[in-house]
Amino acid sequence: MPVTPISSSPAWERRLPKESIYIDSCIWIAQYKPDELTDEQRSGISWLNEQISMGNVIAVASSLLLVELLTVSAELIEIAYDGRKGLLVAADDAICHRARELQQKCYADKQKCLSNLDALHLSTASVQRCQRFLTLDKTRKNNQLSPLADKQYLERLLGLKIVDPTTLEDQKKLDL
Amino acid sequence: MATTTAKTERSITGKKDLTVTIEPRSKQARSLLPDVIDQLESLTRFLKSLSDGDTTFEVISLSKQSPMTAVLRGLRRTKVAAKKRVEGRAYTYRSNGTTTDRAAKALTALASHKKLPSYVDPYALTHLRDFADDLGKTDHTATVTANGETFKVDERLKEQIDSSLGNIRIAYTSYTGELGRLNAHGSKWSFTIFPPAGPTRILCYFDSKEIEAIRSLVTEVVTVRGRAVYRGETAWPVHIRVDTVESRKSAPEGFWAELPSKLKDHWHDASDADKFIACMGAEVA
C-alpha cells in the first residue's frame, strides 16, 4: 500500500553552508580604504568575499551595521545581507541580554569591560553560533578589552574563533 | 468480529509506532473532531521537532469511538535516484522509529524530573505543552504509548514542562529565512522559517486572513516581524506571532565578490562623509 504522509512537507531542501562567519563592521569600513590594509589583509578579505559569493560560507552581521555605516546606502547593506548569502540579525532584547551578561562577566573576570558595540557584535555572533568572528579591532581603548588583543579569553568565553583577515588565507586549508 | 479487527490492527501496528489515546475526563466532555485534529496537530509538531531529518507522520489507525485512539508512524523522506523513480516521484517515505524512541526518552525524563536529552529543545517542549494545554481546554486527558511504555499527558505533565522551560519572555523582533512548512489547518495557522545561519527553524503563527499572501511566499526568503516568545535562557524564540512578512530581494550573482567596487559607488560625497564621521566619532564610517 503506498504510504501517504498526513501533512506533506514542501519540496525544499536545505543546503547548509559549511560555516557562518560574523563580519565586524570594521571590515566593511576597511574595504572603503583598502590602502590602509596590508596585502595579506586585503587578500584575506577578498578571498572571503569570493567564498560568500560562491555560497561556501554565510556572512552574518548585526543590524547595528545600519547605524555604524551611515555613509553607505542602506539598500546596499540590505542586498548584501539578503537572507541567502548574508544574514543581518536584529539587535533585539535577546542579543542585548547576552551582551549585558558578557560585559558583566568580563568585568568580574578581568576588571575590564567591552565597549557596548563590541559586546553587541560578539554576542550576536555567539547567539547565532557563528564559528568565526572576523575583525581588525586590536586597540584597547580606555582600558577596555578588545576582540583581537584579548582574543584567547574571549574565544574561551564565547566558544568561537576570533580571526584577523591576515589569517583568512589559512582557512583554505580548512576546505571551506 | 471484534477479534478480527484486533488482529488486523496488531498486524499493521509496528513496534516503533506511537499510540495516542484521548479520552474525556468527565461524562459531559465530548470529543469533537476539530478539537482532536488540533490536539493531534500539536502532538505531531512535538514529534517533528524531535526528529533530525525530514520526517513526517502518518496516521495508520484511527478509532473515532470514545476513547479515541490514533496510531502514528514516523516516515523519513528519502530521495530516489533518477533511474529508480516510479511515476516520476523524486522522494519515497520509509518507516522510521527514531522519533518514537526520542519521544519515549523525553517523556521518561520529564516524568522522573531527570535531565532532558539534548535533542529536546524548548521548541519541542512548547509543542508538547500545547498538546497538554489543548487537552485541558476540552476537558480531556491523553495517554501516549511509545516503545512499550505509557505516559499520561495531563496538567501534571504541563507543570513539569513549565518548570523545565523556565520563564516566558516576550519581545518584538525580526527573523529572516526561507518560508516553508505552511500549515493551514487546525486553529493555529503557521509556517516555519529556516534562517541560513543560527536557529535551524522558527515557528511563526499568522492570521488566517493572510493565507493567500503567505501562500505566495512559500520557498521565498522573507523577513518576519512580530511578537517573539522566548522560554528560559534560550536566545531563540519558540515561536513568533507574525505582524508583517516581507519578501527579500536577492543579491545579484557575484555581488559579494565585487563588494569593494560596489562600495565605492555607494559611498556618499567624500567631503560630507568626512565631516559626518568626525561628528559621529570613530565607530562610524
For residue B229, the domain's CATH number is 2.40.50.140
Q: Do B175 and A94 make contact, defined as CB atoms within 8 angstroms?
A: no
The complex scores an ipTM of 0.77
> Does B138 share its domain with B185?
no
- At residue B150, φ and ψ (nearest 5 deg) are -115, 135
Taking the C-alpha atoms of residue B259 and residue B268, their distance in angstroms, rounded to an integer, is 16
Q: Are A6 and B93 inside 8 Å of each other by CB?
A: no
Is B110 in the same domain as B235? no
Same-domain pairing of B126 and B211: no
Q: Which of A41-50, A100-109, B51-60, B206-215 has the lowest mean pLDDT?
A: B51-60
Which residue in the set B77, B195, B235 is minimally distant from A87, CB to CB?
B195
Which of B145, B165, B185 is the C-terminal boundary of a domain?
B165
Which residue of B lies nearest to A22 if distances are taken between CA atoms? B197
Mean pLDDT (chain A) is 80
CB contact under 8 A, B273 and A29: no
Cell numbers given for B37? 485534529
CATH number (1.20.1250.20, 3.30.70.2860, 3.40.640.10, 3.40.50.1010) of A19-170 reads: 3.40.50.1010
* Tally of domains within chain B: 2
What per-residue confidence (pLDDT) applies to B268?
59
With respect to residue B284, please indicate whether it lies within any of the assigned structural domains: no
Which residue ranges make up each domain of chain A?
19-170
Same domain, B102 and B176: no
pLDDT for B276: 59
Domain contains B274: no
Q: Which domain holds residue B111?
A: 13-165
Q: Does B14 touch chain A (CB under 8 A)?
A: no
Q: Are residues B192 and B98 in the same domain?
A: no
- Confidence label for A59 from pLDDT (cuts 50, 70 and 90): very high
Last residue of a domain, one of B165, B191, B220: B165
**Looking at the predicted structure, is the pLDDT value of residue A124 above 90?**
yes
pLDDT value for B2: 38
Domain assignment present for residue B220? The answer is yes
- Chain-centre distance for alpha carbon A109: 24
Nearest to B58 among A5, A60, A117 (CB): A5
Neighboring chain B residues of A117 at a CB cutoff of 8 Å: 283
pTM: 0.71
Please indicate, yes or no, whether residues B84 and B57 belong to a single structural domain of this protein. yes
Q: What is the pLDDT of residue A129?
A: 85
| Cβ–Cβ contact B263 with A under 8 A | yes
Please give, rounded to a whole number of angstroms, the shortest distance from the CA of B171 to a CA of chain A.
Answer: 7
Q: How much is the average pLDDT of A43-70?
A: 89
Chain A residues touching residue B75 (CB < 8 angstroms) = 3, 5
Last residue of a domain, one of B123, B148, B165: B165
Q: What is the pLDDT of residues A143-158, one digit of tens each?
A: 788 888 888 899 988 8
pLDDT at B285: 47
Whether residues A80 and B255 touch (CB distance < 8 A) is answered with yes
Please check whether residue B263 lies inside any domain of the structure: no
Distance from CA of A106 to the nearest CA of B (A): 19
Contact: A71, B276; criterion CB under 8 Å: yes
Q: What is the pLDDT of residue A15?
A: 43
Q: Confirm or reject contact between B85 and chain A (CB < 8 A).
A: no
The residue ranges of chain B whose pLDDT is under 50 are: 1-11, 285
Name which of B46, B96, B176 to mutate to probe chain A: the one with the most chain A Cβ atoms within 10 A of its Cβ: B176
What is the SS3 assignment for chain B? CHHHHHHHHHHHCCCCCEEEEEEECCCCCCCCHHHHHHHHHHHHHHHHHHCCCCEEEEEEEEECCCCEEEEEEEEEEEECCHHHCCCCCCEEEEECCHHHHHHHHHHHHHHCCCCCCCCCCHHHHHHHHHHHHHHHHCCEEEEEEECCEEEEECHHHHHHHHHHHCCEEEEEEEEEEEEEEEECCCCCCEEEEECCCCCCCEEEECCHHHHHHHHCCCCCEEEEEEEEEEECCCCCCCEEEEEEEEECCCCCCCCCCCHHHHHHHHECCHHHHHHHHHHHCCCCC
- Chain B positions in Cβ-Cβ contact with residue A31 (cut-off 8 Å): 259-260, 263
Q: Is the pLDDT of residue A9 over 60?
A: no
Higher-confidence position of A108 and A140: A108
Instruction: Tell me whether residues B90 and A11 touch, CB distance under 8 A.
Output: yes
Which residue from A11, A12, A75 is facing B178, i.e. has the nearest CB? A12
Q: Do B251 and A7 touch (CB under 8 A)?
A: no
- Mean pLDDT, range A10-15, rounded to an integer: 36
B158 and B176 assigned to the same domain: no
More confident residue, A172 or B165: B165
What single-letter DSSP state applies at residue A72?
Answer: B
Q: Do B255 and A28 touch (CB under 8 A)?
A: no
Residue scoring higher pLDDT (B156 or A139) = B156
**Local structure of residue A71 (DSSP, 8 states):** T
Whether B196 and A17 lie within 8 Å, measured CB to CB: yes
